[in-house]
């Protein structure tokens, strides 16, 4: 772990002994993997971690008095949704060694992309009596680490809702519809919404089983992904500002579409693909079908 240079004293790294994050599911607890290949936005996450802190050494190593209140904090950030927030905070005012058990539950609808989990030991309150070389501001970091979990899956990686298409302007018998709104610099999570027709039980069941899909569910999810990719790429190519030199903010719709384009058409220029799509839309549709590897299920 890279050690940051801070304008105040910090204790040795071994004053905090963290155990690995655990992923909790129906089968019990397992070490958090690097990626969840079957994750989708309807899958909530339950994570646990145990951390042991030597409070006396943490204070003395930082030049803090024995009564300085510390706090152990866990914070999450999701790159796909551009959302984040506190997971759990535990105030540590006593002495000796303290064991803290984090128990974190995150909504799948708030996640996406890379889930970052930051754990930090910080000064809980401002210390006006601190030495010049000691931390004094509330929130001063004494120790920290970061873990990550890549969330990926067969289902399209954006929010979805199950509704009755009969109550909308969409055809009653349509299975799904991908809505795209906002400009290229708008946040992806607020620009994309997959609507699934509750009357189409085959599709709704496939998404319900996305965590543990059956062969038929994988085929349905593959079809949805292929169609969503087509809509997204066609939308991108219709925007004149969408090009190789575009610089879209992280977490924006433009950045998401650019990433999808590079994934589906590696080594090809946007100009060439846009020209092919306009001159021969039928051939382009076949190119896109091949790029998404439709119905290639394991």
* pLDDT tens-digit readout, 158-196: 677 888 999 888 999 999 999 998 899 987 777 888 899
pLDDT above 90 for 231:
yes
The string of pLDDT tens digits covering residues 102-148 is: 999 998 877 877 899 999 999 998 887 767 778 888 889 999 999 99
**CATH number, span 13-151:** 2.60.40.3880
For the chain, the three-class secondary structure string (H helix, E strand, C coil) is CCCCCCCCCCCCHHHEEECCCEEEECCEEEECCCEECCCCCCCCEEEEEEEEEEHHHHHHHHCCCCCCCEEEEEEEEECCCCEEEEEEEEEECCCCEEEEEEEEEECHHHCCEEEEEEEEEEECCCCCCCCCCCCCCCCCEEEEEEEEEEECCCCCCCCEEEECHHHCCCCCCCCEEEEECCCCCCEHHHHEEEEEECCCHHHHHHHHCCCCCCHHHHHHHHHHHHHHHHHHHHHHHCCCCCCCCCCCCCCEHHHHHHHHHHHHCCCCCHHHHHHHHHHCHHHHHHHHHHHCCCCCCC
| Confidence bin at 80 (pLDDT 50/70/90) | low
Among 127-141, 150-164, 221-235, the minimum mean pLDDT is found in 150-164
**pLDDT at position 178:** 93
Q: Is the pLDDT of residue 33 over 70?
A: yes
What is the rounded average pLDDT of the residues 49-71? 93
Token pair belonging to 36: 């969840």
What are the domain boundaries of the chain? 13-151, 160-291
What residue has token string 């089983």? 209
209 contacts: CB under 8 Å, gap ≥ 6: 217
Q: What is the arithmetic mean of pLDDT over 38-61?
A: 89
Dihedrals φ, ψ of 170, to 5°? Answer: -75, 155
Mean pLDDT for all residues in the chain: 87
Cα→Cα distances 239→117, 244, 271, Å: 35, 13, 12
Q: What's residue 118's pLDDT?
A: 96
Residue pair 13/181 in contact (Cβ under 8 Å)? The answer is no
Spatial neighbors of 288 by CB under 8 A, at least 6 apart, are 226, 229, 230, 233, 264
CB count within 10 Å of CB 205 equals 15
């Amino acid at each position: 772990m890279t050690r940051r240079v801070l304008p105040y004293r910090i204790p040795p790294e071994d004053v905090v002994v963290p155990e690995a994050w655990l992923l909790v599911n129906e089968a019990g607890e397992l070490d958090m993997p690097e990626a969840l290949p079957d994750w989708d936005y309807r899958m909530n996450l339950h994570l646990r971690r145990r951390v042991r802190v030597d409070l006396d050494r943490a204070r003395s190593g930082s030049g803090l008095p024995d009564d300085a209140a510390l706090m152990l904090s866990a914070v999450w950030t999701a790159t796909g949704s551009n959302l984040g927030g506190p997971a759990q905070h535990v105030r540590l005012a006593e002495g000796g060694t303290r064991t803290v058990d984090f128990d974190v539950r995150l909504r799948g609808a708030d996640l996406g992309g890379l889930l970052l989990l930051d754990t930090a030991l910080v000064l809980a309150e401002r210390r006006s009596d601190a030495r010049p070389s000691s931390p004094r501001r509330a929130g001063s970091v004494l120790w920290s680490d970061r873990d990550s979990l890549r969330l990926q899956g067969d289902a399209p990686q954006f929010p979805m809702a199950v509704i009755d298409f009969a109550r909308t302007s969409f055809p009653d018998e349509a299975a799904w519809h991908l809505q795209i709104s906002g400009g290229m610099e708008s946040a992806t999570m607020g620009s994309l919404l997959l609507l699934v027709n509750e009357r189409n039980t085959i599709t709704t069941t496939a998404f319900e089983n996305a965590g543990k899909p059956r062969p038929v569910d994988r085929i349905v999810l593959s079809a949805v992904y292929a169609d969503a990719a087509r809509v997204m790429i066609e939308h991108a190519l219709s925007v004149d500002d969408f090009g190789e030199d575009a610089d879209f903010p992280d977490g924006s719709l433009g950045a998401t579409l650019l990433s999808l384009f590079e994934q589906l058409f590696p080594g090809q220029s946007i100009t060439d693909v846009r020209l092919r799509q306009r001159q021969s839309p039928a051939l382009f549709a076949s190119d896109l079908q091949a790029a998404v590897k439709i119905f290639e299920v394991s």
